Structure 1
């Protein structure tokens, strides 16, 4: 079944009399916790990168720590999806935040002493990060009523993008006065905020009725139930495939090639910094736009936004002024939030409530989990074939994958329900 409460064709229209989501105390607590987790997730690799700059870590050691964090993330995501559906989503948020918070002093203790200890802490931090993602996604559906979830998801992504835009300057400033260990402990405090600030969601009527049966079912079997639920929504599988393709190619290609293009074609790293800033600023604009815009063909609009990322590798392929590269990244940023917010909102609306965390974990597992694979493949491909054909191929994938996804049943509205026309 689906959780859509409105007639087909009107499910995305919020009741006009509802107050702003920013006046909802329960959501603000959830928002503060999710913002803290997002900031902590972003801050760890940045702070470790600063440690390389001041020679506390080597580049090889940094790579080991980031790999350990990724392994922890990928291992925890599917397990957390099952636990968040079987037990309290709030409880999973609590324990994942506490685990990631406990990892920070472990990493700090290993600085200048033991890389293996730091790697163990990084793996634990990654596990906490991975566990909280599907739990927060499902908890949002419990805390926020259906008519305001798009606004809530936009507010969530605004906070994340805002920290990415302002965080590097703040972290670099703090690094002038504070040691790496102190910054790591600060990350641990952010995780404590993430663990403790959010409140409980509405009690799920199905939660206790099926708990005994769930407890007797293996984690693998329960995760498989989440996969089966995802298969009931062709638009979801198609959209997830498109998102995974864009991240594995477009994101990875620009991550590998952009620094080189900035240095070799434009003579400095200014284009690299400018493109990253333009992308984040564009994402902020996109989130503000989609917070109030409820297009009838929300799925097609979202997939069009996702396809706009193809402009990023395309701009690096062509001999264009630096301003064009920055504009392309800004448009790509707008597009990614035109996709993200309706995508999360549709999953919260359409997926069976007792399987939402598992379906969300499948989303994060594929879309984010395959990103390192893309990075690992793109660099050798550039070395073997050159940057131009790789960028062209990535741009084609970024445009073609969302276009193909738009042909899937239900893709027009991100819903299994038929629309009522245009």
Structure 2
């Protein structure tokens, strides 16, 4: 006797993941982070306009920007500790308010007191440095794990769009208002960054009333956490090498090559624009791209920055230089977005801000050192040998980093959810 087969439940596709751009909490965080990024970018540009208007000398500009960098480096490590010790939202609030308070002081000192401007720039840099790791950790609190790569892609797209449209907007505003007013506008952007983001989830241990170790001891504890992740140390080393050598070399050599080889400044402008456009494309690509070997793919993207100094070495058509910068821009975001996402996934939540501060401290901190060394090196040995060494470093250091254990997937297993976070 035939039996009637039991009815089966039809297979249905899993519900689509809701876009992170429809999440009000993330949109508030995104808007605040975008405002801070735009304010960070705008300050050196506006101070450059002050030099053009003879309100600030070239030596004064160098001193003010150096003070800003010093403030950043001094505060980024402290900000990471505070963001793990207290509410990340509170750290964003107070650091952004400090940067906002620096803006009217800069406007007050403009053309009157270089000392006031220098102190204000250091305060602005400190606010900028303290908020960066807090924003990074707050993203992990606000956004669910399965949407963080999309969220990080949206964050970096905002930064690149600001870089692309910012000069035009600022130059247009400068036609109607003075430099002091533009500085006050930067302060308003920092107010938006301070007040707009909402509160994230509470991180276990961050609100503990138990006696705390010193700031230094807690920062060392963050270093200890970073050392537990070989892929992170390898990635940080590769990123630092590319920025300190590759990015610094192209920053110095591109204006020289544009002037001496091509006899025009438009090659420099086109290459810089192409880099930003490429980075936008890379961020769009990574918003949904999930390669099986995510770490290897990211390191390959980082290594592609080597095409930028390589193109400046050779007597090629300007279109080749521009294409190389597009590839470099795409590659840098093929690294950045998975790198941020993996850090948020793999690092212990109560140490995330401290580990993120290491990223900003080394990559941002060694860039000025690279710039300081590359210029005299080019003057001594010539552009071609220096660019060759820097291009080789861009290709070889990420390749070596990719061989480190756990680097293939930016974690112990593909799609690892950081199961080892509780290990000592």
TM-score of the pair, normalised by structure 1: 0.94
SS of aligned partner of 2:264:
coil
Partner of 2:364: 368
SS of aligned partner of 1:416:
coil
* Residue 322 (1) aligns with residue 318 (2): yes
Residue of structure 2 aligned with 1:312, choices 293, 303, 308: 308
* Residue 168 (1) aligns with residue 170 (2): no
Larger gyration radius, structure 1 or structure 2: 2
Distance 1:73 1:416 in 2: 33
Residue of structure 1 aligned with 2:210, choices 201, 209, 212: 212
Partner of 1:89: 88
Cα displacement (A) at 1:381: 0.5
- Per the alignment, do residues 71 and 16 of structure 1 end up closer, same or farther by CA in structure 2, a change over 3 Å counting? farther
Partner of 1:6: none
Q: Deviations over 1:17-54 (max 9, x none)?
A: 32000000000000000000000000000000111111
- Say how many residue pairs are matched: 403
- Per the alignment, do residues 16 and 151 of structure 1 end up closer, same or farther by CA in structure 2, a change over 3 Å counting? farther
What does 1:15-414 align with in structure 2 at a 5 Å threshold? 17-209=16-208, 211-213=209-211, 215=212, 217-414=213-410
SS of aligned partner of 2:210:
helix
Distance 2:358 2:207 in 1: 24
Cα displacement (A) at 1:418: 6.4
Distance 2:415 2:196 in 1: 39
Cα displacement (A) at 1:203: 1.5
Q: Deviations over 1:336-368 (max 9, x none)?
A: 000000000000000000000000000100011
Q: Deviations over 1:177-206 (max 9, x none)?
A: 111100000000000000000000012233
Q: Deviations over 1:134-178 (max 9, x none)?
A: 000000000000000000000000000000000000001111111
- List structure 1 runs of 4+ shifted beyond 3 angstroms: 417-420
Distance 2:365 2:15 in 1: 38
Segment of structure 1 superposing worse, 52-61 or 34-43: 52-61
TM-score of the pair, normalised by structure 2: 0.94
Distance 2:125 2:204 in 1: 32
Distance 2:413 2:214 in 1: 32
Partner of 1:9: none
Distance 1:369 1:16 in 2: 44
- Contact kept, 8 Å, 2:241 with 2:397, in 1: the verdict is yes
Partner of 1:10: none
Partner of 1:7: none
- Contact kept, 8 Å, 1:410 with 1:418, in 2: the verdict is no
Distance 1:204 1:233 in 2: 21
Cα displacement (A) at 1:56: 1.2
- Contact kept, 8 Å, 1:134 with 1:357, in 2: the verdict is yes
SS of aligned partner of 1:369:
helix
Segment of structure 1 superposing worse, 51-60 or 234-243: 51-60
Q: Relative contact order (C-alpha < 8 Å, sep 6+): which is higher? A: 1
Partner of 2:9: none
